[in-house]
Amino acid sequence: MKPKVLLINCYSDNHRGAKGNPNFIPQSMATVALAGQFHADKVALQLYCEFARGPFENLKSLAWADLLVLTGLNPAFDRMKQITAYARTVNPGIAVAMGGSLARALPLLSQRYFDYVCQGDLEDIGAVIDDVFGPGYRAEQPFPRFDLARWPPWFGFAESSRNCNFRCDFCSMTAEGRRYFSYGADALPMQVEAMGYKACLMVLDQNFYGGGRRQFTEKVGRLEQLYRAKKIGSWSALATADLYADPANLVLAKQSGCTGFFCGIESFSRAQIAAFKKKQNLLLPQEDVIRRSLDAGLMLHYGMVFDTTERTVADIREEIDFIVGNPNLTLPSFLSIAIPMLGSPLFQRRLDQGALLPHLKLRDMDGCSIICQSRDSDAVTADFARKMHRGGLVSRRQLLRHALLFYARHGRKLSPIGMASAATTYWALSFPGLGTNGRDRNLKYSARTYFANTEALGTLYTPQIPMAEKMRDHFAPLILTNDRGELHPSVQADLQPKAVQLTPSTKEKPDLECSYPNWHA
């Protein structure tokens, strides 16, 4: 009998029966990449993504598996605990491994709930495989299992590097301080060969430009070959604003079939960017970055991050009006309340300032809830967050006017896919509730408070089957702060100040731990 492994990407949805976001771009690659660490012939695998398909409720699969492997973003910690409780109830012998940024941010707490807490990269699962099944069950040539991916048709996701070479104040990459490294240019053709033709290939790196001009040119060269050979219809990637400093980069990208990039613009306020320590965004004014991109025929997607602790709602609304009133700017693809990610310098600063809300729930550090004390009154801040989440910050008339002027000025320069992707930004601002945070799709909006300490827990927090008393804690939300906004005792050992070891960024050197040896060829 083959060992059986269930891999789940957990997501912090509120409600049992939520439908998930199967057509949202981008989707996570994590389970597909993790699956590639197991021997394809000797291990039976099932993959599930809660972001795409809604909360995982299949007790039969939990009873089937010998090993449960969990991944997910920080707000998904409660979901990891809940699924583990179900697994142990229906299948007491199951082994549970978890990993990713949660394992790095909360290693000690995680050990209370999971058998294996993998703080490193994908390759860490190798030791778990050996421990649970014995030798012989690791993949001989680890490689993402694109054949098991259930992504929107026409889209493929790939990676060409890990981690980031920048250190923005709020980001989990900064909290982790891990070294940026590139897989090498051949990684992309290998992944495309394995996944087959895709109309749009999206390279999901933290920073596609993290290896500088030389690596960028090499990777774009490979993508151009794939594009000319009709192995991809187009490509896009996530990259930082320093990419736009050299216009030649944009020419290269455009001629290689690129439709555009996602770039962390975050704010048009220089003061805010400086406060976020996002120095790559100070090289050029944000408006110039967008103008250069559009002039080169490349769409630019970005998110806006609003820090209501530093800025008033009136100031933020002025910024939104400035964007929507300017048809030379693309509209943001998503709006988010600033999240001081666990362990980041901003998290520490907010903690020291006493600015974290009391009884803060990790589940609600999701970009659509208020996490810190705000400059405005609760009523004003909550009204802003509600409009951000439900729509109403920008009128449909303003959006229509922007769309007409934008397409008149830039429509002809963008490719058809670039134009279609520009259209999604109008949709995102009109119906933001249908965007990334689908977590309240089934919850009456009026039930929300928009504060991360007073949001109602959804139905997922009530077990769907009888549970042993010892599992009760698995259904309690993880609370990060006490009633004074100080660290809650349960996370003190993990989150109290430690000298953050910022690893110097290395641009060229491959990481020897990476399990994809051929990619460095």
Binding mask 335-374 for ligand B12 (x = CB under 6 A): -x--x--------------------------xx-------
- Using the contact rule CB under 6 A, the part of the chain among 154-162, 166-174, 304-312, 418-426 near ligand SF4 is 166-174
| Residues 6+ away with beta carbon under 8 Å from 517 | none
223, 251, 247: which is closest to 237 by C-alpha? 223
Instruction: State which of residues 37, 182, 206, 272 lies at the interface with ligand SF4 (CB under 6 A).
Output: 206
Smallest gap, in angstroms, from Cβ of residue 276 to ligand SF4?
Answer: 8
Binding mask 236-265 for ligand SF4 (x = CB under 6 A): ----x-----------------------x-
Instruction: State which of residues 167, 178, 389, 448 lies at the interface with ligand SF4 (CB under 6 A).
Output: 167
Relative to beta strand 155-158, strand 200-203 is: parallel
Site size for ligand SF4 (CB under 6 A)? 11
Instruction: State which of residues 18, 30, 139, 329 lies at the interface with ligand B12 (CB under 6 A).
Output: 30
366 binds, among ligand B12, ligand SF4, none (CB under 5 to 8 A by kind): ligand B12
Evaluated on CA atoms 300, 305, 310, 312, the torsion sign reads: positive
Beta bridge partners of 306: 337
Residues 159-198 that bind ligand B12 (CB under 6 A): 159, 162, 171-173
Asked if 465 and 89 touch (Cβ cutoff 8 Å), the reply is yes
- Using the contact rule CB under 6 A, the part of the chain among 8-16, 167-175, 182-190, 495-503 near ligand SF4 is 167-175
* Position of minimal CB gap to ligand B12: 99
- Using the contact rule CB under 6 A, the part of the chain among 54-62, 204-212, 278-286, 400-408 near ligand B12 is 204-212
Beta bridge partners of 299: 260
Q: Which tokens belong to 28? A: 């996570």
Instruction: State which of residues 151, 157, 166, 244 lies at the interface with ligand SF4 (CB under 6 A).
Output: 166
Relative to beta strand 95-99, strand 116-118 is: parallel
Assign 3-class secondary structure to 305-355: EECCCCCCHHHHHHHHHHHHCCCCCCCCCEEEECCCCCCCHHHHHHHHHCC
Give the DSSP letter of residue 25. S
142 binds, among ligand SF4, ligand B12, none (CB under 5 to 8 A by kind): none
Helix (H/G/I), strand (E/B), else coil: 398: helix
Nearer to ligand SF4, 21 or 207 (CB): 207
- Using the contact rule CB under 6 A, the part of the chain among 40-48, 70-78, 212-220, 474-482 near ligand B12 is 70-78
Smallest gap, in angstroms, from Cβ of residue 157 to ligand SF4?
Answer: 17
Task: Quote the CA–CA distance of 17 and 143 in Å, as a whole number.
Answer: 33
Nearer to ligand B12, 120 or 411 (CB): 120
Burial class (CB in 10 A: 0-12, 13-18, 19+), 93: exposed
336 binds, among ligand SF4, ligand B12, none (CB under 5 to 8 A by kind): ligand B12
Smallest gap, in angstroms, from Cβ of residue 158 to ligand SF4?
Answer: 17
> Is 363 a residue that touches ligand SF4 (CB under 6 A)?
no
Phi and psi dihedrals of 331, rounded to 5? -85, 155
Nearer to ligand B12, 202 or 298 (CB): 202
Task: Quote the CA–CA distance of 499 and 306 in Å, as a whole number.
Answer: 28
Residues 420-439 that bind ligand B12 (CB under 6 A): 436-437
Sheet holding 299-301, edge to edge: 155-158, 200-203, 235-238, 258-262, 299-301
Instruction: State which of residues 169, 205, 307, 455 lies at the interface with ligand B12 (CB under 6 A).
Output: 205
> Is 69 a residue that touches ligand B12 (CB under 6 A)?
yes
Residues 372-401 that bind ligand B12 (CB under 6 A): none
Q: Chain centroid to CA 19: how far?
A: 19
436 binds, among ligand SF4, ligand B12, none (CB under 5 to 8 A by kind): ligand B12
Instruction: State which of residues 206, 267, 286, 309 lies at the interface with ligand B12 (CB under 6 A).
Output: 206
> Is 174 a residue that touches ligand SF4 (CB under 6 A)?
yes
217 binds, among ligand B12, ligand SF4, none (CB under 5 to 8 A by kind): none
> Is 95 a residue that touches ligand B12 (CB under 6 A)?
no
| Residues 6+ away with beta carbon under 8 Å from 294 | 300, 328, 330, 410, 413, 414
Evaluated on CA atoms 44, 50, 52, 57, the torsion sign reads: positive
With both helix axes pointing from N to C terminus, report the angle between 187-195 and 212-228 in degrees, rounded to the nearest 10: 30
Asked if 31 and 58 touch (Cβ cutoff 8 Å), the reply is no
Q: Which tokens belong to 405? A: 């002027």
> Is 129 a residue that touches ligand B12 (CB under 6 A)?
no
> Is 308 a residue that touches ligand SF4 (CB under 6 A)?
no
166 binds, among ligand SF4, ligand B12, none (CB under 5 to 8 A by kind): ligand SF4
Binding mask 283-322 for ligand B12 (x = CB under 6 A): ----------------------------------------
Task: Quote the CA–CA distance of 118 and 203 in Å, as a whole number.
Answer: 25
3-state helix, strand, coil in the chain (%, to 5): 45, 15, 45
- Is omega for the bond preceding 26 within 30 degrees of 0, making it cis? yes
Interface residues toward ligand B12, by CB under 6 A: 9, 11-12, 26-30, 33-34, 51, 69, 71-75, 97-101, 118, 121-122, 124-125, 159, 162, 171-173, 204-206, 238, 336, 339, 366-367, 436-437
Binding site for ligand SF4 (CB under 6 A): 164, 166-168, 171, 173-174, 206-207, 240, 264
